Structure 1
Amino acid sequence: MTNTLIQPDDTLTLWGIIVVVASVSIYLEQRFSWASKVSGAIIALVGAIFLSNTGIIPTESPVYDAVWGVIIPLAIPLLLFHVNIKKIWTESGKLLALFLLSSIGTVAGTIISFFLLKDHIPYLDKIGGMISASYIGGGVNFAAMAGKFEAPGDLVSATVVADNLMMAVYFVILMLIPTIGFFRKRYSTPHIDQVENGVSQEDGKTLAESFWKRKDISLKDIAMAIGTAFLLVIVSFKLADFIGSLIPSGENVSGIVNLANAIFGDKYLVLTTVTFIVLALFPTYFEKINGSQEFGTFLIYLFFVVIGIPASIPLIVQNAPLLLVFVFIIVMVNMIVSLAAGKLLNANLEDTLLASNANIGGPTTAAALAIAKGWKDLIGPILVVGTLGYIIGNYVGTVLGLWFSSMM
């Protein structure tokens, strides 16, 4: 037994605390402008750090393992259900090309940053895999890679702290770029011009509240969303175990075979692939399910609470500064590549910035930026394009993480 107010085997209380902290974070994010700017994810993380560092809850418990083993796998398909593959091609056009080129910027930035700092930050191979997946997809990819590479909880928390601090700086930069004459002279700005001409108006709500609008969700929607997600997780994990048993691994086989085992037998990659295939085969079925994105996002908030729990404040202070440099390099390379790609494709400034945002911050934050700036015509397309990152992020993170681990 641990010397904390709540014991590790008090599962009901711990589950309740995790859910309540996540719920309060979401409420604050949608109720107050300051919380919307900070983001509910940071609030949830800080709340968990406070509870564990003050001795209220333990740093280890089977409850936390359940979040990693059950909640995160469920979140992956739920967040993919609303992806319409056909719309990515028919509605997005140049925005899709920008997003993919921006993803190359993330990969390049991760490789550069890794080689510069690999001798100074422990477990940077694992962190590199997590961050690269997250900076193409989003929080669900970070969670998937954190589970795959089994990174220590304190370093995962430190990485999240550094990442969130970088996100705050990054979003400020994104908000400022459209106001700078240097960029206005070199890129077309049709949506900015429309806002400045008074066509778009703010609705007075926080960004989070504007994005997460009320939807009609029936009992059938809940049943179909949760039931389908569980079915996909079960089938995918069993399939991954089967494929993994067919491909040999270990010290006695070649590196290529080991890589094939790691990729094709990886539960998260198989889950992503199976979900993608099912979405392509049965698009109408998934289009009729309301609320899957809300369910998946709520589960991700539970993840943010849990990764904050093992955080040791002294270790965060010790490791976060260098980790901040690590993510800063990645973000800067991504922005440079994105801006260059936008110029090369003769894209407008709004599309270019949103493509970079959808990579680094995920589609929902890109939508939030579009809402904040009044670029209402771009909210739908960037959500569609940005969700592609959920699909490819795990592949990129896995490949880079495995490559980096061979050099540590």
Structure 2
Amino acid sequence: MLTPDEARAERRELRRRRRTALLLVAPLLAFVLFAFFAPIANMLYRSVYNPTLAELIPQTLAHLKQWDEAPLPSAETFASMAIELKKLSAERKAGVLAAAVNQAYPGASSLINSTARRMRGLDDGIAPAEAAQALRDADNRWSEPDLWHAVKRSGQVHTITHYLTALDLERNQQGEIVQRESARIYVQLYSRTLGMALAITLMCIALGYPLAYYLCRAPKRLAGVLMIFVLLPFWTSLLARTTAWIALLQPHGIINSVLLSLGVIRQPLELLYTGLATVIVMTHILLPFMILPLYSVMRGIDPGYVRAAQSLGSTPWSAFWRVFLPLSMPGLSAGALLVFIISIGYYIIPALVGGTDGQMISNIIAFHMQRSNNWGLAAALGTLLLAVIVILYWVYDRLVGARNLRLA
């Protein structure tokens, strides 16, 4: 039984240890917060934050908020647009406005750029009616209600438009969510990405499981040599390995040359810049991530279990299927989950060897970030990809159980 003084001293010591532990993990927590949670939070915010039009044409949007959905906005709205287009043309920002509106109204890019050039000679003190007429004279499309609806929708600072686009949806003039009439590519890209990731995972299982089984049963010296070959890809540049595959798969590469010389084919096979090339190269790159978890679990399985099953009358195949395979499931599930999640977000290999058919959703996200500068859509696509991964992990946890990963 502790005395009161001893109990207080023990509590003080416990608090001191907790503070020490917190100080030790504080740098790690700060790094995780800065490098993981902050970028995800920024991505989530960018996917619904769209201040472009609010910053470029604030007066026009203020008038559009009062628009009662009559056939056309008021003359003051036309005048505000004309004057703000003149200002944007002088500041060389009309192209930014054009690109933003063009996402909701195809053809708005050329319309806004040409109109902005014509508004340069507009008088600052021009009457609203004259400014409105000047805007109509610049292009007849300014008299179309659909264009103004698109400007109004694009002017919302917080919007789910990017998510609708990422799901191949859009809002019609009545505000209803409908299928996009233009190109529908994103849902197809998500399906292709998941299909290719599943194919890569299955190929890694088919190649990695037998090798891991052989490694755990081979003599130590041979197993050590084979493990070096398994780990060798980690010591080789990813670009060098991908370039080697390009040399193998190209129309006049090694594979086609050998097949042509043997008379197996008459024309070179189209292997490079296809979905098949992406699956083959990524299987090679990710195979160690399947072998290592399998090997770590298989090494801990006592061979006596299989021998005991055979001594009780089980065939070698039945003993493997009923005894060894269930015991190796933690490593198999861990490797499959690791390969599948990594392959979903891979970017470099599909960009180098995938071509059009082998592109994955990560390549489209990079395109919108680097070329089209549509960061909002890129953030929405990335958020949906994150949601897909979380849902798949939840399904995995329900069917297999993430607790099994601890055994790996």
Q: Settle same-fold status: TM greater than 0.5.
A: no
Higher relative contact order (CA 8 A, sep 6+): 1
| Pair member with larger Rg | 2
Using the size of structure 1 for normalisation, the TM-score is 0.25
Length-normalised TM-score, structure 2:
0.25
